[in-house]
Structure 1
Amino acid sequence: MRRQASTPRDGWEKTIEAQGLAYHRSAHPVHLTRPYWDESVHYTFTMEEVLDLEGQVEELHGMCLEAVAHVVESGRHRDFAIPEWAVPEVTESWRRGDPHVYGRFDLRYDGTGPAKLLEYNADTPTSLVESSLIQWFWLKDAYPGDDQWNCLHERLVDRWRELPLQSGPAHFAWTNMDETGEEVMTLGYLQETAQQAGLTTVAVAMEDIGWDSRTLRFVDMEQRVIRTLCKLYPWEWAVADPFGPQAVAQQVSMTWVEPLWKMLLSNKALLAVLWEMYPGHPNLLPAYLDGPRDLPAHIEKPLLGREGASMRIVSPEGIQRTEGDYGAEGYVYQEFRALPDFDGWRPVLGAWVVGDEAAGLGIRETSGLITDDSSSFVPHRIVP
């Protein structure tokens, strides 16, 4: 794993916007001089490294599924701050095997040892457009003879074909709260992969989904019954909404992407459960729910936090924290191990899983210790 300088393409801004990264300006804090998409640098990997990482990612995914089974069978939902009234449906969603599509592991990796799991974005993962499309087109323009860890597009199309969906169009729902356009473009891309799989699709705003009290079904603005719903609206938000009970009760009559049981994978309490089940595993960092115990340095992560908000690092060097409104749901205490330093920048590897297979890689860099909305996305390639 190496970080290398590269020459940006002429007119790269218009190029990536035409390819779907329309939000690269709006989703990035305006005061930053470094752009969100930065092709002036990139990372290189050997094929041996990539194959090894693929194996580690698939092992981690399998361990996470075992952790869900453990939580369901042992009734540990309270550790995940799931409302008691929703627990039976979460349990049944898992036991039915409600189908899932994709997720993203965030990993610490420096090229010299096993990757370390930081968290699993398994319900509403983003940076999909840049991981699947934008960096692939960059590779074809800048290094046409090289390869990339990236079969996301093909795997997504194949996954839609595998799903046992009901008749009728599949709905892809964004929320009007999305001011940057990232959610709209991500769902638009997912919708495109579903169309390439042969599905009929409809785009809809979450706010335009209605409840038909006669048929007891969700409907769109054309009064069509929604039988498949792909969303980037987190389940913890959905269960807190006025129509949350109806959404939870619709698990049998609808296909949800992602399914309700993913509440257990997208919650950082998962990190502590994994450490309990697999203590000392080379891909895990020690993590606990009842406090930092004897960790010499630790990071406090809110169970439902996003974009690095509401975190606190406690180490012999002092305390660092990020602003945010998360934490009322509780925290997990994970060993703090600083991200590796490459020329003053610290990368996080976003390793994608589609179905149950590793499918690609996206990298975000930060100059600080916590990856947040100020971090930039940089491409990668595989070298001989």
Structure 2
Amino acid sequence: MESYIDELDRSIFNFVEYEGYDDRYPSLSMQSFPPEFYDELRHASRRLFQIFYKAAKVFQMAPDNFARDMDMPENLIPYLHKSNALGLPTWLSRFDFVLDTSGGLRMVELNADTPCFLIESYYANEIAANFVGRDNPNKESREELRLFLKRMYNAVIASKYGKAQYENLLTNGGLPKEPFVFSCFHDYFEDYGTTQFLMKELKAACPNADTRFLSFYDLKIDDDGIPLEDGQHATALYRLHPMELLIDELTPDDEPLGEMFLDLYEDNKFALFNPPEAIILQNKSFMSLVYALYLTEQFYSKPDRDIIERYLTPSYFESDFSSLADGNYIQKEIWGREGRHIQVVQKQGDEAILQMEKLVDNYDDIVCRDSKKIMYQDFIKQKHFTHTVDGGTKEGFLTLSCFMLGDQASAVGCRFSPEEIAGTEAYYVPLVID
């Protein structure tokens, strides 16, 4: 039976079929919500971003020991204070929410450093909604993405030349070609597809931009930055490679490649998208910092506190555990990804009794930094949903996402997992409007 999945362009959505999985990644069924739900999802994300931004300022002004206590890589700490072209700690990010048993949104993670799920939300959702003749909640989102990329591109160029010279160049014949390089490890299909998608969207937004793809395997540095085949150097680099891993990369001669790379960034040899300080918000215990500031009752305004109370899943540092009430909690490693090493524990006194551990099929394929610390969140009992995939109908749980373009809420997306803690087994589910 034909479905919207047959309409998806595999040259754009290159991971519809994924080796090792019986079912295709997209579900056959779709998820419908009223327009007010999508408005609330975007409103919650926009306000939470403002709240997180305030906490990021606290982090950046705090002594280095504060960052060490949050398991921030020691050699990364010096690079988290530089200003950037947009003046924001992350330029492209994604909030993830679950739905509690009453259908309320509860934010559980912020993907601030290297967010994926763009193709599903900005491209596939439109194909699916059009196929069944339903309204697409992301109808304006692709244009929003292009306008944002154009604004980001212009801000990077303006930052390179300075305001006066930039305006002079615009007035007198235009800007010189500035190579904007997009990079990932090209043999990881999802990263490659996402990187290519963003590069083409920037080109659509800025037809005169000099956009290029360079595999991370081929990325080099010299005294002037990132050299390219034609002798030029990259003006900016989009990197789909986690900063907490990049910082520890070594050259074949065991030199600290990551630190040398960031030294060049600090010397303004190129711009980075996302900037290094996105790692502050990516650090899972950052939610614990936000919640701790909320508990002080003095830091956030009443409207901010209301948003935190309503949407943010209560989150705690590892050192807070002994003071928590008995009950069930999610335990997460600070640098875990794709559900790896997530556990549900029951607190009884000072003991954490394992109730359930997230099992990940492709454990060895998930590349992430070893965590020295963990954090805790209240265990949210979730609302059940039913969806149809290639293998039949399944019952499970939803993760709702909202992309942030700078500080503006944009496309929404949905994943469906038969397990309460979503990981690599989750399916993409298109969203439509009731």
Q: What is the TM-score normalised by the length of structure 2?
A: 0.78
Structure 2 CA distance, aligned partners of 1:135 and 1:157?
17
169-178 or 119-128, which moves further after superposition? 169-178
Task: Name 1:5's counterpart in structure 2.
Answer: none
202-211 or 333-342, which moves further after superposition? 333-342
Which of the residues 214, 220, 223 maps onto 2:231? 223
- Are 1:73 and 2:61 matched, yes or no? yes
The code of the aligned residue for 1:92 comes to: K
Structure 1 residues 83 and 99: CA distance shift in structure 2, 3 A: closer
The code of the aligned residue for 1:308 comes to: G
- Are 1:89 and 2:79 matched, yes or no? yes
Structure 1 residues 200 and 112: CA distance shift in structure 2, 3 A: farther
Q: Any conservation in 2 of the 1:152–1:354 contact (CA below 8 Å)?
A: no
Task: Name 1:197's counterpart in structure 2.
Answer: 205
Q: Any conservation in 1 of the 2:332–2:342 contact (CA below 8 Å)?
A: yes
Structure 1 residues 378 and 96: CA distance shift in structure 2, 3 A: closer
Task: Name 1:136's counterpart in structure 2.
Answer: 126
Query: Offset of 1:161 from its aligned partner?
Result: 1.6
Structure 1 residues 216 and 95: CA distance shift in structure 2, 3 A: closer
Q: Any conservation in 2 of the 1:339–1:348 contact (CA below 8 Å)?
A: no
Q: Any conservation in 2 of the 1:149–1:382 contact (CA below 8 Å)?
A: no
Task: Name 1:364's counterpart in structure 2.
Answer: 415
The correspondence of residues 1-384 of structure 1 with structure 2, limited to 5 A, is: 10=2, 12-18=4-10, 20-26=12-18, 29-30=20-21, 32=22, 34-39=23-28, 41-75=29-63, 76-93=66-83, 97=87, 100-109=90-99, 112=102, 114-144=104-134, 146-163=135-152, 164-166=155-157, 168-176=178-186, 178=188, 181-198=189-206, 199-212=209-222, 215-242=223-250, 243-249=257-263, 250-251=265-266, 252-279=268-295, 281-289=309-317, 290-292=319-321, 293-315=324-346, 319-323=355-359, 327-343=370-386, 344-383=395-434
Q: Secondary structure at the match of 1:220?
A: coil
Structure 2 CA distance, aligned partners of 1:208 and 1:326?
22
Structure 1 residues 318 and 174: CA distance shift in structure 2, 3 A: closer
Give the percent of matched residue pairs that are identical in Structure 1 and Structure 2. 20
Q: Any conservation in 1 of the 2:245–2:369 contact (CA below 8 Å)?
A: no
Query: Offset of 1:29 from its aligned partner?
Result: 4.1
Structure 1 CA distance, aligned partners of 2:100 and 2:121?
19
Structure 1 residues 318 and 77: CA distance shift in structure 2, 3 A: closer
Q: Any conservation in 2 of the 1:120–1:265 contact (CA below 8 Å)?
A: yes
Structure 1 CA distance, aligned partners of 2:61 and 2:53?
12
Structure 2 residue ranges without an equivalent (≥5): 158-176, 251-256, 296-307, 348-352, 387-394
Structure 1 residue ranges without an equivalent (≥5): 1-7
Could you list the per-position Cα deviations for residues 239-287 of structure 1 after superposition, in whole angstroms to 9, with x for gaps in the alignment? 1112111222214331111001101011101110111122462111221
Structure 1 residues 220 and 95: CA distance shift in structure 2, 3 A: closer
How many residue pairs match? The answer is 366
The two structures, once aligned, show a CA RMSD in angstroms of 2.4
Query: Offset of 1:205 from its aligned partner?
Result: 0.4
Query: Offset of 1:339 from its aligned partner?
Result: 2.8
Structure 2 CA distance, aligned partners of 1:131 and 1:59?
21
Task: Name 1:3's counterpart in structure 2.
Answer: none
Q: Secondary structure at the match of 1:265?
A: helix
Q: Any conservation in 1 of the 2:120–2:413 contact (CA below 8 Å)?
A: yes
Query: Offset of 1:207 from its aligned partner?
Result: 1.5
The code of the aligned residue for 2:228 comes to: D
Q: Secondary structure at the match of 2:146?
A: helix
The code of the aligned residue for 1:253 comes to: K
Query: Offset of 1:319 from its aligned partner?
Result: 1.3
Q: Any conservation in 1 of the 2:71–2:371 contact (CA below 8 Å)?
A: no
Structure 1 residues 254 and 36: CA distance shift in structure 2, 3 A: same
Structure 1 residues 269 and 124: CA distance shift in structure 2, 3 A: same
Query: Offset of 1:177 from its aligned partner?
Result: 5.2
Structure 2 CA distance, aligned partners of 1:99 and 1:169?
23
Q: Any conservation in 2 of the 1:105–1:120 contact (CA below 8 Å)?
A: yes
Q: Any conservation in 1 of the 2:224–2:269 contact (CA below 8 Å)?
A: no
Structure 2 CA distance, aligned partners of 1:263 and 1:304?
10
Q: Secondary structure at the match of 2:122?
A: helix
Query: Offset of 1:19 from its aligned partner?
Result: 6.0
Structure 1 CA distance, aligned partners of 2:85 and 2:68?
19
113-122 or 231-240, which moves further after superposition? 113-122
Structure index of larger Rg: 2
12-21 or 239-248, which moves further after superposition? 12-21
Q: Secondary structure at the match of 1:297?
A: strand
Structure 2 CA distance, aligned partners of 1:218 and 1:84?
24
